[in-house]
Amino acid sequence: MKNIKEIKKHLGIGNRDIADAFGYSNETGYNNGKNGKVRLERGLEWFFSIVERGQKEKKRVPILLTSSQFAKAYCLFLFCE
Count Cβ atoms below 10 Å from residue 23 Cβ, excluding itself. Answer: 11
Q: Residue 5: its pLDDT value, please?
A: 92
pTM: 0.62
Q: Residue 53: its pLDDT value, please?
A: 78
Which of 66, 74, 63 lies closest to 21, judged by CA? 74
Does 16 score more than 80 pLDDT? yes
Does 26 score more than 50 pLDDT? yes
Q: Residue 81: its pLDDT value, please?
A: 43
Does 60 score more than 60 pLDDT? no
